[in-house]
Amino acid sequence: MAEQKIAVLFPGQGSQFLGMGKEFLETDPEARALMSMAEKISGFPLTRLCQDGPMEELTRTVHLQPAMTVMNLICWQALAKGGVKPAFFAGHSLGEYGALAAAGIVSPEETLGLVTERGRLMEREAAVNPGGMQAVVKLPIETVRGIVESAKAAGKITVANHNSAEQIVISGEEAPLAAAAPLVKEKGGKAIPLKVSGAWHSELIAGAVPD
């Protein structure tokens, strides 16, 4: 059998839960040091937000981006100390920053500074152009694209992430998302609202690009 190679994939926004990282923060001084650095760079009480919430505050992208990123770095640090030697690093959306840090391309300090500023800009745009995201499961991409085209009559909406053959994320204003949900059901799929605070990966946050 050929030698198996290890890949590490870092998650992004929507993966958060209250209590994440608790076991590391309680037992690992190096994890606490990373968290302390993240709190200093971001200016936010990330430990409290990650452990106690409330979830609405943790989910705000200005908080969640540094919170999720430091958790990714803490988990990677534990894997590295355990002797895990990946051949590949990858990240899903925000998780790309954790992957870059783990690969040694960007320092942890630079990474946390970048995602803090990214979160600030995205929150600014979401306040001006509010929206959300839904994961559509059990439908092929062609069907989802057709649903999105139909829902555009109600407002701005787009296919945001093609995660797998039958998991596609759509992003946009609340009205077209609401219009899309019953169409998804009619086609035999399911639309699952995501735990995010804006219409990420859509034109609604394009105003952040110049900054």
Structure tokens that stand for 20 in this block: 């994440």
Phi-psi region of 193 (alpha: psi -120 to 50; beta: other; left: phi over 0): beta
Q: What is the 3-state secondary structure (H, E, C) of 34-51?
A: HHHHHHHHHCCCHHHHHH
Q: 185: Cβ–Cβ under 8 A, 6 or more apart, which residues?
A: 191
d(Cα 106, Cα 139) in Å, to the nearest integer? Answer: 37
* Residues catalogued as catalytic: 93, 201
Radius of gyration of the chain (CA): 18
Q: Partners of 157 in the beta sheet?
A: 172
